[in-house]
Chain A
Amino acid sequence: MDRKIIWRIVIIVAVVATAVYALVARRLPLGLDLSGGIHLVLQVETDDAIKAELDDAALRLKTRAGEKGIALSEWSVDVGALKFQVAVPPNVDRDALRELIGDFLPEYDLDTGSESWSLAFKPNVESTIRDLAVRQALETIRNRVDQFGVAEPVIQRQGIESDRILVQLPGVDDPTRVKEIISHTAFLEWKEVIAGPAPSRDILLARTGGQVPSDSEIATEIRQDESGAVVGKDFYLLRKAAIVTGRDLRTARRGQGQFGEPVVNFYLVPAGGDKFAEFTGAHIGDPAAIVLDGNVISAPVIRSRIRDEGYIEGNFDIETAEDLALSLRAGALPASINYLEERTVGPSLGRDSIVHGVRAGVVGLILVVLFMIVYYKASGLNAVFALLLNVVILLGAMAYFGATLTLPGIAGIILTIGMAVDANVLIFERIREELAVGKTVRSAIDTGFSRAFGTILDSNLTTLIAALFLFQFGTGPVKGFAVTLSIGLLASMFTAVFVSRTLYMLLLASRDRVETLSV
């Protein structure tokens, strides 16, 4: 046999073997729309983090000033203008306060007025805080997803400066719950109860003299009956400053209360334990409120001095107790979260899509194969062989590039089957024409391939242009479609031109004279 033919066969076998190897070794993972799962784009409300920072700075300044004998009482926060304002009473030593601010809050620009001073972020501080909030949120969400145990999650920021986070969790069968776990701020605080519970705000305030003191706040607890239905609200007056918060937690676990009901056991770090022990020791017999994201979940009476471990009860069922413990372990989110986009595919819908897609593909493949064989006979067989190799190479290349198989991707494969024979048709039609004008088989094949090649290149390149833009601007499954289509087209040029040609060369080499060609 000709050396040229042997080389061609070696190349074909190598390409196909690589494709098969890639397919076997790497597998072709199913996309979310086929495996079922959840795709979320969420936005971190970084304004929350800005507000928290301003609040915190104001509170720290007040405390520091108090230690130095400077009494600051009123302050207000303006998130939009990135500053907070402190009322400075006339009797305050302004130089001392200025010095204090200079030492203690170097990241703020001070603007002094006669009665009120304003402190604004220096340039860059804002973006640093926002960036940090997004990175912390990313970390927290990653922790929570890890704890929940999802295989191969995708959790990433959409762009470097962006406040959007992309979360993709394949195979999740309870998306509502996962969504809740991810977006739960889970900021836990223990607070001193000044008054309450009371059935309404007015009754509560009547007990405290009609006013909410400046160091206090009102919070509510939702009351539920046995079945979990909401039956009312209790009002509490709480001291604003928390005793300990979720930041003082070492860990948290679901446990059982004294009647076997689900509770969340918590364990504090030593520093938090000291604060907690001091408070509980001094307030035996008083209630303390456990506040989650601003809502009281329970307000048990302190029975003894507690140092570093205890439990939270709050009308939980097993699932909510487990989820709260998980969120507390993973840490609180630094800011609240909005869902911008959600696409959930239930597992049964995904399975349905696979069944339908595969059925349509198989029917289409059979039809094309039958047509080619009936219409072009032996040459049709040649095209069918090329087509099957094309599908194998396409799947292998997808596996190699780490693509996932999506429903539009399956459609892309099906479409490739239909379009891949285009190149063969162009060649065969050309060969027929050449035979019709009386050329020999050998020269008809030669001219057919060489003349058709330019056309094939041109026509496929235009489709590739469309696929390129689709890839550039598409998202998710649509991108998958663009990738499949592009790879399919490239593979079809290899199989229809190179592989088919080699098959003809084999045919021509096997006999001395070829009088007729079945095409």
Chain B
Amino acid sequence: MRIIGETHIPFLSYRKTFVIGSAIVVGAGLVWLIAGLLNPAIPGLRFGIDFTGGTQVLAKFRDNPDLDRLRRSLAAVSPDAPVIQRYDEAEKNEVLIRVQNPSDEQADLTRPIIDRLMTEFNADVGRRFDLNTQGSQALTLLLADADPDGAAVSGADLEQHYAPMAEAVLNYRKDRGIFRSLDELASIPELSASARSAIRERATVGAFALLGVESVGPAVGADLKKAATLAIVLSLLGMLVYVWIRFQLPYGIGAVVALFHDVITTLTALMLTQREINLPTVAALLTLVGFSVNDTVVIFDRVRENLRLHRGERLEEIMDTSINQTLSRTIITSGTVLLVVLPLFLFGGEVINTFAFVLLVGLFIGCYSTVFIASPVALWISRLLGARRERRRARGRR
């Protein structure tokens, strides 16, 4: 089977159109990006709490949560209004609460947020044991203290008797995310009848369970931002140097200009969709950089080989031939990566969604830039540096 047969598309003869078009897109993206960074009023890159610092609580509610009530009750936690939004599918009753840390202070806002939620939604819990927020160790203590089974042991042995039951209860919560009523205890076979009724007597089900908490102080946020920027800049430089050494300077420049194009265009896509940038997003960005240069290197490799085979031909023609010869490979490997990234984007879950989005968008952008940016720029630079000298050196090289 064959998707792409032999092609003779004169890619480079369209180079002006594509390079100018891309330059406009990248330029606009760059202006937007810088404007957004300088002026917070412009919705540019949306940095997540990994970089800005802040506190984020993901809670699952027993019943459909009233977001306005949440907003009102959390208003006093921080000077800025907390961001409260639905998470994942609506019927999961999950809510993401995000609070900006007051500037420079090392305040731990997790506790105040949870305390507010408790007073607002769990007022009826009182001193009863909350199956939705407390852990298995605490439940073990409660059972050991009540000792409903009347186990004729004491101390640590008593706790050992009840620990498996408590863990079974918590495992149930692990599976379902939240207890909706005490009746659900009936479907936990590990519980003895007396233990079940002891829990019913002392426990209750609170209005929410905490699925996750992330809190990043401003100092750590600044550190992470610096590290991420360094990682991106240094890996672009690393690619430049590598391609320069393995091929020639014009190719190195061509590859890096294409990568710069990929990064800026993908960031523009992130700005358009207003998706959040966190550490995994940066990881995805670097992966796409690696993947995109991979494609570029394959084409340059072919150019180098063809320069040796077809002496006397113009570089432009050799590049076109090389792009055409590797075209089916470029499309197939991008295709196989697409085959894995698409399921990741569709089924990978909320946590990894932006990560998959960057890879998905970057895959197309990288594929495009390999053909329409990297080679034209390399061609242009090598003409600039003198085509004849260039080819003599390429021939001399083995």
Interface residues of A (CB under 8 A from B): 33, 36, 41, 43, 148-149, 172-177, 179, 226-228, 317-319, 322, 338-349, 351-353, 355-357, 359-361, 363-365, 367-368, 371-372, 374-377, 407-408, 411, 414-415, 417-419, 421-422, 425-426, 429, 433, 451, 454-455, 458-470, 472-478, 481-482, 485
Contacts and interface: CB of A to CB of B under 8 A. Distances in A.
A469 B213 contact: no
Given A425-B336, A458-B301, A475-B227, 15 more contacts: A340-B219, A340-B220, A348-B175, A363-B343, A364-B340, A364-B343, A364-B344, A415-B341, A459-B295, A462-B297, A466-B290, A467-B286, A473-B231, A474-B231, A474-B282
A177 B349 CA distance: 28
A360 B343 contact: yes
A425 B329 contact: yes
Contact of A228 (B106, B126, B214, B348): B126
A473 B348 CA distance: 25
B332 interface: yes
Given A462-B294, A474-B279, A346 B210 contact: yes
B106 A340 contact: yes
A356 B1 contact: no
Contacts of A465: 235, 238-239, 242, 290
A148 B137 contact: yes
Q: What's the interface size class on B, roughly?
A: 35 or more
B215 interface: yes
Given A425-B332, A463-B291, A472 B106 contact: no
A422 B359 contact: no
A318 B129 CA distance: 10
Which among A341, A344, A352, A451 has the greatest number of chain B C-beta atoms within 10 A? A341
B9 interface: no
Given A322-B141, A348-B174, A466 B336 contact: no
B106 A43 contact: yes
A415 B15 CA distance: 31
A384 to B, nearest CB: 12
Nearest to A460: B294
Contact of A345 (B173, B212, B239): B212
Nearest to A363: B343
A465 B238 CA distance: 7
A93 B141 CA distance: 62
A455 B174 contact: no
Contact of A364 (B243, B286, B305, B339): B339
Contacts of A41: 220
B348 A375 contact: no
A411 B348 contact: yes
Interface in B115-144: 126-127, 133-138, 141-142
B177 interface: yes
A419 B363 CA distance: 12
A408 B355 contact: yes
Contacts of A172: 135
B301 to A, nearest CB: 4
Sort A-B residue pairs by CB-CB distance and give the 3 closest, nearest first. Answer: A174-B135, A356-B349, A364-B340
Interface in B175-230: 175-177, 209-217, 219-220, 224, 227-228, 230
A363 B347 contact: yes
Interface of A is mostly: helix
Nearest to A406: B280
15 contacts: A177-B137, A338-B217, A340-B220, A348-B174, A349-B351, A360-B346, A414-B344, A418-B339, A418-B341, A461-B242, A463-B287, A463-B290, A467-B290, A474-B279, A475-B227
Nearest to B231: A473
A128 to B, nearest CB: 24
A381 B287 CA distance: 28
Given A348-B173, A422-B333, A473 B137 contact: no
Contacts of A426: 298, 329, 333
B352 interface: yes
B280 A481 contact: yes
B356 A462 contact: no
Given A177-B135, A340-B220, A429-B329, A360 B336 contact: no
Contacts of B246: 458
Nearest to A227: B126
Given A227-B126, A469-B235, A470-B235, A463 B337 contact: no
A438 to B, nearest CB: 15
A172 B325 CA distance: 55
A498 to B, nearest CB: 20
B283 A470 contact: yes
Contact of A319 (B138, B219, B220, B282): B138
A188 B209 CA distance: 33
Contacts of A459: 293-295, 297-298, 301
B341 A466 contact: no
Contacts of A417: 340
A368 B335 CA distance: 9
B255 to A, nearest CB: 8
Contact of A419 (B1, B60, B291, B348): B291
A286 B174 CA distance: 51
B213 A411 contact: no
A426 to B, nearest CB: 6
Interface centre among B127, B134, B287 (most CB of A within 10 A): B287
B319 interface: no
A357 B355 CA distance: 12
Contacts of A467: 286-287, 290
Contacts of A365: 340
Given A174-B135, A318-B145, A466 B110 contact: no
A59 B298 CA distance: 75
